[in-house]
Amino acid sequence: MKVAINNNLFEKIIFFSFFYFLLIIGFIFNENSTGGAISDYFNQKTIAQAFANNFNESFFSYDKFSTRHSPILIIFLSFFEKLNINDYIIRLIHLHFCLLLPIFFYLSLKIKFNFINQNNLYLLVALIFLSPTFRSLSIWPDSRILGMTIFCLSIYYYLKFEENKKFKNCILNILTCAFASYFSPNFSVFALFYFYKFIISYNKEFTKIIYIIILNLILALPAVYYVFFLDIFFFNKPASVSVDLTNNEKNIFSKNIFNKILLNSSIIFFYFFPFISTKIISLNKILNPYKLILSLFILIISIYFFDYKYEYTGGGILYKFSYFFFNNNYLFYFICFFSILILIDLVSTKIENLLILFLIFANSPQISVYHKYFDPMLIIFFFTLFDLKINKEKINIKRNRYFLYLFFVIFLIISNLKYLWNN
């Protein structure tokens, strides 16, 4: 028995060492599969140098810089700049910190799916290493992947809370969610989901509810003061500095919601597809006439108001594919019908699914929709926060696992080829 356990552990070490080796290879060759990771990093490095030279002036006029990223990572980078630490060392430290993301994901899966063989959980976690966003933003320091890493820890504490209802896990969840939000404000919206779940759990414990509210307010206060009272509203920046946007297009709160419905749903469909096609994730009665009619109605209305311009950049792989090969959106619209249908089915089962989906849409309100905003976040959310029908038997089937890896390996290859093509 001891020999079997040791062999099993040895296989896991070899398995993850292989993926770690691939990540290091990407580091050595400056992988940039998202296309913008390198330019984003050096833009932040320039700002970090400004912080290192004059912290007060840079911090209190941060909105003058061309970035939507939180200043927290910039502040950390500025310390490295002051110490004149080599970029290679900075990037290597950051990469190894980001390795906590698959670890936190695995710990969360162990709680959520204690009925599934742990070997299969490792196979799901390994998909993170095939994520273009995880790879690129680990190699090139970025606040979003740092935020995602810490936010995944908040998911772990949330699932621990759901498991044992201990108040300390509630507090740890709030603290880590707030910490993640300071690195990447996009994750702050998910505090609403946690708050909703905690209020339901403590609906008859008024004192704990007050503690939760006060703690959230205290943690949010520095960010609220910095952005709204000091009027350092750095969010209102175009994602692509090379695009000349009108004043209305630059306004983060004046975006066409129908653009988001089609683009976001198509990206979510992209991540659902390999799990649905292998029946690892099961749908309900998706061909219900009411769902079909509602999907068609939403699609027609969204197409009528859809005005996303290719010049905005981004749009997701399916939007890009339709435009690149056919120079129109017809294939994209066709896929969107099924995307919307799946989302309607998803939210029709649980109110929590509807809330999470709404917050996913709300977490990136800017005009440009980038695939990296959802990668690998959606994979993590599917198996932790969403309430989905997971078929453990289907995960055990080897051909399903091979299909998953093939799907995401091809996506990674396409992402890298697209970058090389554009350069």
Q: Please state at what angle helix 132-139 crosses helix 398-422, rounded to 10 degrees.
A: 50
What is the β-pairing status of strands 389-390 and 281-282? antiparallel
In tens, the pLDDT along 205-224 reads 889 999 999 999 999 999 98
Round to whole Å and give the CA distance between 138 and 143: 10
pLDDT of the residue at 241 = 47
Rounded to a whole number of angstroms, the distance between the first and last alpha carbons of the chain is 54
Round to whole Å and give the CA distance between 194 and 155: 9
pLDDT of the residue at 4 = 47
Residue partners of 352: CB distance under 8 A and separation at least 6: 193, 196, 197, 385, 386, 387
pLDDT of the residue at 111 = 92
Nearest to 143 by CA among 172, 89, 174, 180: 180
Residue 298 has pLDDT above 80, yes or no: yes
In tens, the pLDDT along 305-321 reads 998 887 777 888 999 98
- The gap from C-alpha 234 to its chain's centroid, in whole angstroms, comes to 20
How many residues does the structure list for the chain? Answer: 423
In tens, the pLDDT along 164-173 reads 999 999 999 9
In tens, the pLDDT along 220-250 reads 999 988 888 777 876 666 555 445 555 555 5
Judged by DSSP in three states, 115 sits in coil
Task: Find the angle CA(372)-CA(380)-CA(376) to the nearest 5 degrees.
Answer: 20
pTM of the model: 0.92
pLDDT of the residue at 246 = 53
Widest CA span of the chain, in angstroms?
A: 68
Residue partners of 279: CB distance under 8 A and separation at least 6: 391, 394, 400
Round to whole Å and give the CA distance between 205 and 93: 43
Residue-averaged pLDDT of the chain: 88
pLDDT of the residue at 266 = 96
pLDDT of the residue at 237 = 60
Band (pLDDT 50/70/90 cuts) for residue 261 is very high
Band (pLDDT 50/70/90 cuts) for residue 256 is confident
Tokens of 69: 């990223």
Band (pLDDT 50/70/90 cuts) for residue 1 is very low
Minimum mean pLDDT among 30-34, 248-252, 414-418: which range? 248-252
- The gap from C-alpha 395 to its chain's centroid, in whole angstroms, comes to 23
Task: Find the angle CA(123)-CA(410)-CA(299) to the nearest 5 degrees.
Answer: 100
Instruction: Supply φ then ψ for residue 354, to 5 degrees.
Output: -65, -45
Tokens of 315: 């749009």
Q: Please state at what angle helix 100-112 crosses helix 143-164, rounded to 10 degrees.
A: 20
